[in-house]
């Protein structure tokens, strides 16, 4: 039995960064908005300061198969519950640079975005004002044009001071990390306590995420969130030219249909592509929005490695934001600066770390066990310094999301995410790690080591562009094939840059929803 609900104006699949912006703006404009969220209902009161309980914020839906020499790490990057991935994100919000937007034209690599930085700048500035960013734009010598941050930077603790000195001794620069974290009370939200529990979710609302800003705004304007609602298929009109709505399953297994004038798919990179491919029908035999054959293609992730140093000095590694205290992007604007490599990279410096957890102190030295473990931890909780590399990934069509032969509990094919890092990408990481080692030496680290290489953030798979034969959507995330279907989130990115994507996701969503409201299809 199918339960059908009344048609609404706007149906948003996913309640995270992108979906919440669409919902907030559309509901404020008087549209009736429903958000379908696969994960459970959560509020800040459900967030506990614990690395164990933090895992509830991570993906809890259908299994994602992964292949390749550099996997995207879906379950670590994806969120679960109201607010999506923003509920465990660290709030590191640098902007893309001007040279990130036309990489094919300027470097012959990757894909061009359908616009340049100047087009996105006003949306960055407006999002920055709404969410509240802390930082010091004057110290970010590499920062593209933009308004000053509305809040001063977060404080720098012991490890940040030591690592900054290491950069300085190599004539490199650091600046306060731009963070969506309140350094002072801002728009009714309190200032951060610097207790280092960001990835467990911020229960006091100092960290800007969907629940504290745009989703809260949407709910005030009358939008509705339905939790435990797993979308299984997008429905098209009989002629295939418009989206009618979606089918979804609730926790009791019941099948529902929700109809809408406009559907926004904002279920994060892998699930967006999976749903489009799994919704194939006679009019769209390769999947919805897929006349280009590019749905799922150009999957990207930022290669990341954390470097660790043990210092004689007290470093206070448990204090401050999990995302870090400082940033370095000295070589960012020269993507051809390293022999045999291509791309930009940045360092985010002085991440707060706790003893346990995947990114915790103990797992930074997974080789230590038995009687040596406790003495190592006792030393490290007072003397560790951490800095994390974020490197660019070049979009390549062979890196992809595709459908598996296996199906989930609702009969929908699982997603398989295939991602390999090419040689220039690997060379970039190798170069950056040499630089990082030199920084730790210069900072006075008595010992140093590196963590494993992994994927940070997941991007691409539904890339936007000008040419319908070479992209899935236009510059607003509107499907080239189906005018009342919008796609939102980092899956739209035609290039990864080397910065954390959440700020850009918000800016793109704001630009898109304003276009949608001006041109309601």
Partner 1 sequence: MEALQQRRSLLKGLLLAYPLISGALLLSPAQARLRKLPLTVLADEEAGDLESVIEALVPGSAEAGAVHFIDYQLAKPAADSLLMLKYLGVEQPHLTFYRGGLAALAQHSIARFGKRPSALPALKLDHLIADLIADETPGWSGPPASFLYFVWRSDGIDVTYGSEEGMAMLNTPYMAHIRPEQPW
Q: Among 117, 197, 345, 493, which residue sits at the site for partner 1 (rule: CB under 8 A)? A: 197
Those residues with Cβ within 8 angstroms of residue 370's Cβ, 6 or more apart along the chain or in another chain: none
Q: Which is nearer to partner 1, 233 or 365 (CB)?
A: 365
Q: Which is nearer to partner 1, 307 or 359 (CB)?
A: 359
Least distance in angstroms from the C-beta of 57 to partner 1: 10
Q: Is 66 in the site for partner 1 (CB under 8 A)?
A: yes
DSSP 8-state secondary structure symbol assigned to residue 46 = G
Q: Give the binding-site size for partner 1 (rule: CB under 8 A).
A: 53
Of 262, 328, 301, 325, give the one whose Cα is nearest residue 488. Answer: 262
Residue with tokens 């004002």: 129
- What ranges in 243-307 are assigned the alpha helix state H? 269-278
Residue with tokens 């509107």: 478
Q: Which is nearer to partner 1, 60 or 155 (CB)?
A: 60
By the 8 A CB rule, do 105 and 114 touch? no
Q: What distances in angstroms separate CA 28 from CA 25, 38, 117, 504, 516, one per listed residue?
A: 5, 24, 27, 22, 13
Q: Is 196 in the site for partner 1 (CB under 8 A)?
A: yes
Q: Among 32, 75, 139, 221, which residue sits at the site for partner 1 (rule: CB under 8 A)? A: 75
What is the token pair recorded at 338? 């390293």
Q: Strands 413-418, 64-67: parallel, antiparallel or unpaired by DSSP?
A: parallel
Q: Is 382 in the site for partner 1 (CB under 8 A)?
A: yes
Q: Round to whole Å and give the CA distance between 360 and 376.
A: 13
Those residues with Cβ within 8 angstroms of residue 286's Cβ, 6 or more apart along the chain or in another chain: 277, 280, 293, 295
Q: Which is nearer to partner 1, 53 or 142 (CB)?
A: 53
Residue with tokens 């291509």: 342
Q: Is 56 in the site for partner 1 (CB under 8 A)?
A: yes
Q: Is 360 in the site for partner 1 (CB under 8 A)?
A: yes
Region of residue 268 (phi > 0: left; psi between -120 and 50: alpha; otherwise: beta):
left
Q: Among 102, 221, 291, 356, which residue sits at the site for partner 1 (rule: CB under 8 A)? A: 356
Q: Is 203 in the site for partner 1 (CB under 8 A)?
A: yes
Least distance in angstroms from the C-beta of 15 to partner 1: 16
Least distance in angstroms from the C-beta of 67 to partner 1: 11
Q: Round to whole Å and give the CA distance between 491 and 333.
A: 23
Q: Is 229 in the site for partner 1 (CB under 8 A)?
A: no
Site pattern 465..484 for partner 1 (x: CB under 8 A): --------------------
Q: Which is nearer to partner 1, 318 or 490 (CB)?
A: 318
Q: Round to whole Å and give the CA distance between 360 and 240.
A: 49
Q: Is 457 in the site for partner 1 (CB under 8 A)?
A: no
Least distance in angstroms from the C-beta of 104 to partner 1: 32
- DSSP H or E stretch at residue 261: strand 255-265
Least distance in angstroms from the C-beta of 94 to partner 1: 24
Q: Is 107 in the site for partner 1 (CB under 8 A)?
A: no
Point out which span in 148-156, 199-207, 288-296, 435-443 binds partner 1 (CB under 8 A).
199-207
Q: Which is nearer to partner 1, 372 or 447 (CB)?
A: 372
Q: Among 165, 168, 255, 381, which residue sits at the site for partner 1 (rule: CB under 8 A)? A: 381
What is the token pair recorded at 162? 């030591």
Q: Which is nearer to partner 1, 356 or 420 (CB)?
A: 356
At 275, is the secondary structure helix, strand, or coil? helix
Range 309-328, binding partner 1 (CB under 8 A):
318-319
Q: Is 190 in the site for partner 1 (CB under 8 A)?
A: yes
Of 387, 275, 283, 406, give the one whose Cα is nearest residue 13. Answer: 275
By the 8 A CB rule, do 400 and 296 touch? yes
Of 233, 210, 133, give the one whose Cα is nearest residue 177. Answer: 133
Q: Which is nearer to partner 1, 239 or 367 (CB)?
A: 367
Q: Among 63, 141, 237, 241, which residue sits at the site for partner 1 (rule: CB under 8 A)? A: 63
Region of residue 135 (phi > 0: left; psi between -120 and 50: alpha; otherwise: beta):
left
DSSP codes, 88-140: T---B-PPPPGGGSBHHHHHS-S-B-SS-HHHHHHHHHHHHHHH--B--GGG-
Least distance in angstroms from the C-beta of 318 to partner 1: 6
Site pattern 23..52 for partner 1 (x: CB under 8 A): ----------------xx------xxxxxx
Least distance in angstroms from the C-beta of 324 to partner 1: 18
Q: Is 60 in the site for partner 1 (CB under 8 A)?
A: yes
Interacting residues with partner 1 (CB under 8 A): 39-40, 47-53, 55-56, 58-61, 63-64, 66, 71, 73-76, 80, 190, 193, 195-197, 202-204, 318-319, 354-358, 360, 362-363, 366-367, 369-371, 373-374, 377-378, 381-382
């Amino acid at each position: 039995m199918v339960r059908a609900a009344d048609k609404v104006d706007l149906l948003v699949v996913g309640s995270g960064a992108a979906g919440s912006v669409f919902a907030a703006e559309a509901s404020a404009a008087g549209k009736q908005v429903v958000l379908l969220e696969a994960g459970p209902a959560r509020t800040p009161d459900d967030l506990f300061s614990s690395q164990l309980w933090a895992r509830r914020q991570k993906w809890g839906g259908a299994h994602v198969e992964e292949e390749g020499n550099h996997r995207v790490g879906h379950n670590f990057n994806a969120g679960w519950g109201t607010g999506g991935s923003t509920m465990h994100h660290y709030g590191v919000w640098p902007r893309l640079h001007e040279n990130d937007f036309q990489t094919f034209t300027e470097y012959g690599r990757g894909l061009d975005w359908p616009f340049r930085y100047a087009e996105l700048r006003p949306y960055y500035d407006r999002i920055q004002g709404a969410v509240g960013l802390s930082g010091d734009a004057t110290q970010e010598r590499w920062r593209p044009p933009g308004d000053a941050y509305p809040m001063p930077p977060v404080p720098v603790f012991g490890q940040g001071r030591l690592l900054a000195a290491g950069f300085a001794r190599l004539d490199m620069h650091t600046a306060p990390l731009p963070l969506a974290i309140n350094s002072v009370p801002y728009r009714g939200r309190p200032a951060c306590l610097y207790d280092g529990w960001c990835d467990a979710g911020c229960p006091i609302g100092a960290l800007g995420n969907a629940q504290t800003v745009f989703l809260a705004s949407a709910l005030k304007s009358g939008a509705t969130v339905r939790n435990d609602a797993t979308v299984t298929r997008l429905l098209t009109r009989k002629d295939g030219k418009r989206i009618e709505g979606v089918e979804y399953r609730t926790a009791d297994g019941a099948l529902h249909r929700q109809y809408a004038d406009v559907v926004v798919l904002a279920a994060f990179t892998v699930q967006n592509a999976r749903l489009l491919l799994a919704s194939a029908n006679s009019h769209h035999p390769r999947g919805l929005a897929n006349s280009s054959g590019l749905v799922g293609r150009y999957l990207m992730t930022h290669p990341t490695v954390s470097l660790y140093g043990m210092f004689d000095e007290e470093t206070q590694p448990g204090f401050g934001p999990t995302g870090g205290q400082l940033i370095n992007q000295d070589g960012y604007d020269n993507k051809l600066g390293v022999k045999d490599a291509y791309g930009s990279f940045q360092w985010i410096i002085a991440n707060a770390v706790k003893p346990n957890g995947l990114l915790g102190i103990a797992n930074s030295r997974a080789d230590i066990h038995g009687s040596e473990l406790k003495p190592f931890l006792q030393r490290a909780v007072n003397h560790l310094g951490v800095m994390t590399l974020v490197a660019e990934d070049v979009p390549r069509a062979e890196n992809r999301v595709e459908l598996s032969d296996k199906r989930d509990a609702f009969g929908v094919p699982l997603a398989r995410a295939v991602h390999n890092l090419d040689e220039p990408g690997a060379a970039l990481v190798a170069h950056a790690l040499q630089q990082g080692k030199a920084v730790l030496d210069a900072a006075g680290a008595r010992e140093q080591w590196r963590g494993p290489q992994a994927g940070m953030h997941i991007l691409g798979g539904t890339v936007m562009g000008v040419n319908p034969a070479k992209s899935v959507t236009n510059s607003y995330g509107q499907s080239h094939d189906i005018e009342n279907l919008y796609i939102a989130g980092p899956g739209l990115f035609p290039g990864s840059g080397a910065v954390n994507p959440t700020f850009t996701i918000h800016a793109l969503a704001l630009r898109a929803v304003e276009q949608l409201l001006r041109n309601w299809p």
